[in-house]
């Protein structure tokens, strides 16, 4: 109905960043757009301006396994960056302690201040374990 009169519509999205399913977003709207509309022009925004090459390459290697995706290769001209470390924690409390211990270690080694650190997490529920561990540390 939006594009019926003038036959024009524009959408912006990233099939590799579909994190809002819990809010009712449906990734198939992006994936099927080219099938649903004729004469689609697809513009891939593949340059990442924020992340290091190690982060971008890791993301590409994970996204590569998606069964349904729009083909693209994200790249950056940023520096290589530090190697990625993966640590498994059995519980959210263990994760909080691990993060707090790492921050404490870096503070002692490099004379860093608390304001030099930020903790990013995907759900609000994760904040409590981080707060508890940092308070205890």
| 58 located within any domain | no
Domain residue limits at 130? 92-136
Please report which residue ranges of the chain form alpha helices under DSSP H: 28-31, 33-36, 53-63, 92-110, 125-136
Q: How far is CA 17 from each of CA 55, 66, 72, rounded to the nearest angstrom?
A: 15, 12, 13
| 129 located within any domain | yes
Q: pTM of the full predicted structure?
A: 0.71
Look at the alpha carbons of 36, 37, 38, 41 in this order and tell me if their dihedral is positive or negative.
negative
| 127 located within any domain | yes
pLDDT in tens, 47-86: 999 999 999 999 999 999 988 899 998 999 999 999 998 9
Segment (H or E) for 119: none
| 54 located within any domain | no
In this prediction, residue 89 carries a pLDDT of 95
| 15 located within any domain | no
| 118 located within any domain | yes
| 30 located within any domain | no
**137: its two tokens:** 């540390």
Q: Give the rounded percent of residues in the chain with a pLDDT score beyond 70.
A: 100
How far is residue 1's CA from residue 25's CA, in Å, rounded to a whole number? 19
92: pLDDT strictly greater than 80: yes
| 25 located within any domain | no
pLDDT in tens, 25-44: 888 888 999 888 888 999 99
Tally the domains of the chain: 1
């Amino acid at each position: 109905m939006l594009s019926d009169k003038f036959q024009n519509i524009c959408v912006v999205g990233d099939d590799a960043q579909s994190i809002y399913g819990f809010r009712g977003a449906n990734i198939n709207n992006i994936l099927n757009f080219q099938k649903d509309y004729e004469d689609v022009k697809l513009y891939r925004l593949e340059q990442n301006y924020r992340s290091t090459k190690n982060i971008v390459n890791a993301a590409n290697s994970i996204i590569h396994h998606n069964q349904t995706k729009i083909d693209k290769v994200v790249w950056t001209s940023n520096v290589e960056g530090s190697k990625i470390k993966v640590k498994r924690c059995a519980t959210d409390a263990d994760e909080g302690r691990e993060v707090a211990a790492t921050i404490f270690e870096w503070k002692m080694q490099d004379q860093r201040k608390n304001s030099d650190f930020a903790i990013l997490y995907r759900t609000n529920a994760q904040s409590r374990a981080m707060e508890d561990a940092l308070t205890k540390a």
